[in-house]
Chains A and B, each alone.
Chain A
């Protein structure tokens, strides 16, 4: 946070630098029988604290884009910057959530939450304190000693969220984190997670094929084309009918604007054209 005190009249100055800047990124995949263009000339900026959702049909490369931002994959061309630094490898400031909870079934819930701190070599005492705090807040306090196999699907995904948040990342990459859950759990958990993330002021990129989920959670929805993945359109999501403040995902689904956004994005995705 540079010079915030000196120029209080210009709070925008500190915000000007994007949290994530994807610049003209292209990715080729090689396999013995062909070369595939997975992503073509993607450019996208995400402001600090912004919640961006990327929707597209399966195979459009949206998960690949997250792998690039996380630093596990390198683009064939173009650059990705997080807080002004070019991404070359995974960073502890970036948290990642998977479609499956990927909890390690041989570790207790607490030890699962602590694995990040353990691997990153963080202060274990502080990490432990934060882990316990997170687990308590997510209603898992009494299950910290349990094994993942003893938890329900929603609880497991909350434990996975605690694991992602324990090293305190400021950017979160969510790769369809709700799609393995049943419908009711999904709605309840997306409400919970939206509340947690906006309270912690995280920057979020959510990848999903669920249009409703994207509209109800995000500030901005990016629609991607079929392979090669390009950015087709962008929608700023606002719910003036809700009045002041931001609706929860559940409330957003009931706002009058919701159906309009849904129809527009549905048409843009051309779901029927695929088959």
Chain B
């Protein structure tokens, strides 16, 4: 929704003056647009409320076993209790920190690898099949090995990085290759070295690719962290989910899952904010 707001504010051509008078038909058209977007938002909200009501009513009416599903009011009171005793903030912070660091690490490593592959097409040809296979492999299978090799803390970061780094390399490399060759020719005509081609054209030209990679990676880093916590951690939301399910406290599990949903939503919004910021600075290109 926010994206469409941007694109309609980006104007082609020089200084378009807004029309001073709007016809009745045009006003009706604008009203129609506003009404439609309100309807969409209304339905989105209604769906959430409907789900919550169903979740609350079904266990209470004994349509499903409340031991298996818990329900929103119980989750809410668990949430409040865990906030008050200070345990939830610790778990949230642990997972959040691990996700952000793992995410940044995967991104940084991915950019470096993609640049190296761009630099040496020979290396790319040698390594390409390995990267494709590693990307296709389920990294989650590595969790026990990482735990044995790296211990309880580092294995979680390693998992977050492992899950996101190969897809980052592949996406960025493809983005680098898609840069208009005439733009590279342009700077080469001004005597640019390969390093200059990279810094003046390839990297700035790949910012949109980097942002779509960020969007993919936020989700992947969370997957890596939670799975890593399943195996190794003594704190964090993944730990909470596993622990809660082992002692059959569904309230705790559902609370952790709800908080995870909020975290992934917030991270996604942060990336989207960054995207909008960059799009503004670039005049929506």
A102 and B188 in contact, given A147-B282, A149-B285 (Cβ under 8 angstroms) = no
Label chain A's interface by main secondary structure.
loop
Complex CA distance for A105 and B245, rounded to whole angstroms? 52
Question: When the two chains form their complex, are residues A119 and B190 in contact, meaning their CB atoms are under 8 A apart?
Answer: yes
- Chain B residues near A155 (CB, 8 Å)? 14
Tell me which of B13, B14, B186, B201 contacts A98 (CB under 8 A): B186
Interface residues of B in 139-198 (CB under 8 A from A): 180, 182-183, 185-192, 196
Complex CA distance for A92 and B191, rounded to whole angstroms? 8
Complex CA distance for A70 and B185, rounded to whole angstroms? 11
Question: When the two chains form their complex, are residues A119 and B187 in contact, meaning their CB atoms are under 8 A apart?
Answer: yes
Would you call B12 an interface residue if the criterion is a C-beta within 8 Å of the partner chain's C-beta atoms? yes
Would you call B204 an interface residue if the criterion is a C-beta within 8 Å of the partner chain's C-beta atoms? yes
Would you call A90 an interface residue if the criterion is a C-beta within 8 Å of the partner chain's C-beta atoms? yes
Would you call A89 an interface residue if the criterion is a C-beta within 8 Å of the partner chain's C-beta atoms? yes
Question: When the two chains form their complex, are residues A119 and B182 in contact, meaning their CB atoms are under 8 A apart?
Answer: no
Would you call A37 an interface residue if the criterion is a C-beta within 8 Å of the partner chain's C-beta atoms? no
Question: When the two chains form their complex, are residues A149 and B191 in contact, meaning their CB atoms are under 8 A apart?
Answer: no
Complex CA distance for A70 and B14, rounded to whole angstroms? 34
Question: When the two chains form their complex, are residues A90 and B189 in contact, meaning their CB atoms are under 8 A apart?
Answer: yes
Would you call B83 an interface residue if the criterion is a C-beta within 8 Å of the partner chain's C-beta atoms? no
Question: When the two chains form their complex, are residues A146 and B186 in contact, meaning their CB atoms are under 8 A apart?
Answer: no
Question: When the two chains form their complex, are residues B190 and A104 in contact, meaning their CB atoms are under 8 A apart?
Answer: no
Would you call B205 an interface residue if the criterion is a C-beta within 8 Å of the partner chain's C-beta atoms? yes
Distance in Å from the Cβ of A147 to the closest Cβ of chain B? 3
Chain A residue at minimum C-beta to C-beta distance from B11: A150
Question: When the two chains form their complex, are residues A120 and B190 in contact, meaning their CB atoms are under 8 A apart?
Answer: yes
- Chain B residues near A150 (CB, 8 Å)? 10-14, 283
Chain B residue at minimum C-beta to C-beta distance from A119: B190
Would you call A181 an interface residue if the criterion is a C-beta within 8 Å of the partner chain's C-beta atoms? no
- Chain A residues near B190 (CB, 8 Å)? 90, 92, 115-116, 119-120, 167
Residue of B12, B187, B189, B207 with highest tally of chain A CB at under 10 A: B189
A106 and B207 in contact, given A72-B189, A146-B283 (Cβ under 8 angstroms) = yes
Would you call B284 an interface residue if the criterion is a C-beta within 8 Å of the partner chain's C-beta atoms? yes
A72 and B182 in contact, given A119-B192, A119-B200, A150-B12 (Cβ under 8 angstroms) = no
Question: When the two chains form their complex, are residues A104 and B205 in contact, meaning their CB atoms are under 8 A apart?
Answer: yes
Would you call A152 an interface residue if the criterion is a C-beta within 8 Å of the partner chain's C-beta atoms? yes
With A102-B182, A102-B185, A147-B285 known, 11 other A-B pairs at CB within 8 A are A90-B188, A90-B191, A94-B189, A98-B185, A102-B183, A105-B285, A146-B283, A147-B282, A149-B12, A150-B11, A151-B14
Q: Which 3 A-B residue pairings sit nearest by Cβ, starting from the closest?
A: A147-B283, A119-B190, A105-B285
A-B contact pairs, 13 of them (CB 8 A): A70-B189, A72-B188, A98-B185, A98-B186, A104-B183, A104-B205, A106-B204, A149-B12, A149-B284, A150-B12, A151-B13, A151-B14, A152-B14
